[in-house]
Structure 1
Amino acid sequence: MNFYQEITLIPDAEISPYFLWSKVYTQLHIALADIKNKHGIDGIGVCFPNYCYKEKNGKTFATLGTKLRIFAQTADELEKLALPVWFARLIDYVHLTSVKEVPNKATEYVVVRRYRGKSLERKVKDYAKYKGIGYDEAMAYCQKNKATSEMPYPYVQMKSLHNGNDYHLSILQEPAEQPKLGSFNAYGMNNISNHVTVPHWIN
């Protein structure tokens, strides 16, 4: 990945960053789907420079921070993505940089995945099989332990463009030992089993 653009949420006392992330990522999701449909480009990936997910003293700290970087192999791909057009209505709430070369200080890499946990139905069946117990007993156990079994990764609240349902776009970002090129989904991320990387550095 040789080029990038950076989006920074502008603090606003009247608008929560969660609401802004929802608006920003909806637009980015549409833009990534559009560029794949029009130009066949699926090598654009993202990372969150200030991402944090850690446990301390029995508590979980999870945040996306306020920045998002969008990476591509070429400047032309980012020009075709046309982020200034997609974010025109959010200009008062976000700062978008021009297309830049990835700096020399970007010596680390991360894998960014969309985390999709198992459905309750799948968990119940797997637990029943694992323990050799009945479905009802497995259901009772899984419902009782549902709160502790879910991974509280940082997420963006999204609304399906197909059916209008709300859903969480849970995001898992982890360090990678070496770079790996490949394709990304329409969120600019890996699916859970992929390991395609993007550069990472902290300002």
Structure 2
Amino acid sequence: MDHYIDITVLPDPEFPATTLMNALFAKLHRGLVDHGGQDIGVSFPDVVQSKRALGQRLRLHGSSRSLDRFMTTGWMQGMRDHVTVTPVQPVPAGVQHRVVRRVQAKSNPERLRRRLMVRKSIDAEAARAAIPDAAARMLELPYVEIGSRSTQQRFRLFIEHLEPVSTPREGTYGSYGLSSSATIPWF
């Protein structure tokens, strides 16, 4: 994680910035799936967790070689008029590090009950007793809204930036560029 690229969503009179960020992130996800590596991380340098806003800038992290290779794949097709992209740049010295991870909401008690009924072979009444309506947990995190290629349904992908730490942690990144344990440089 010694290099990065900033991609900034430009103001557009026809589309809100959140719509463009959703589209950019969906394209990024498809590009990372096609890329097949687990060596590119993502962060949102302008995130404001308390306002549930990711900001208008997405940052890719990785090695110079990996980022160069990824950017030549054409994953941004259709977005070039809506964004500015910096060249691959080295990460500044002495930066903090941060885990940027996906958080999945357990917000639908009915779905959780159905799952419990199948897994434990219990009836609806026992499932309702085990998982009351109050078990719904609403997340107060920033998110992108993307569509599933397999189910064609739209969903919110909640993204949490953990507190900065002084030492980096190695690891892999998933097809969203997020990791539950590996850090990205934070500056």
TM-score, normalised to structure 2, is: 0.84
Q: 1:113 Cα shift?
A: 0.5
Residue of structure 1 equivalent to 2:38: 42
Residue of structure 2 equivalent to 1:95: 84
Give me the CA root mean square deviation: 2.2
Residue of structure 1 equivalent to 2:48: 52
User: How far apart, in 2, do the equivalents of 1:103 and 1:83 lie?
Assistant: 24
1:77 equivalent in alignment to 2:77: no
Distance 1:71 1:138, change over 3 A: same
User: How far apart, in 2, do the equivalents of 1:84 and 1:10 lie?
Assistant: 22
Q: Which has the higher strand share?
A: 1
Residue of structure 2 equivalent to 1:195: 181
Q: Check conservation: 1:84, 1:96, Cα contact below 8 A.
A: no
Distance 1:123 1:46, change over 3 A: farther
Residue of structure 1 equivalent to 2:127: 135
| Aligned-residue identity in percent | 27
Q: 1:175 Cα shift?
A: 2.0
Taking the TM superposition and a 5 Å limit, the aligned residue runs for 1:42-191 are 42-54=38-50, 61-72=51-62, 74-82=63-71, 85-104=74-93, 107-118=95-106, 120=109, 121-122=111-112, 134-137=126-129, 141-142=132-133, 146=136, 149-177=137-165, 178-190=167-179
- Structure 1 residue runs of 5 or longer lacking an equivalent are 55-60, 126-132
- Structure 2 residue runs of 5 or longer lacking an equivalent are 117-124
Q: Check conservation: 2:113, 2:128, Cα contact below 8 A.
A: no
Q: 1:135 Cα shift?
A: 3.2
User: How far apart, in 2, do the equivalents of 1:50 and 1:123 lie?
Assistant: 38
Distance 1:44 1:82, change over 3 A: same
Q: 1:13 Cα shift?
A: 2.6
TM-superposition CA deviations, 1:121-177 (whole Å, max 9, x none): 43796xxxxxxx9433455x41x564xx21121111100111211111111111232
Q: Check conservation: 1:31, 1:83, Cα contact below 8 A.
A: no
Matched residue type, 1:30:
R
User: How far apart, in 1, do the equivalents of 2:171 and 2:152 lie?
Assistant: 31
Matched residue type, 1:108:
Q
Q: 1:85 Cα shift?
A: 2.0
Aligned residues: 175
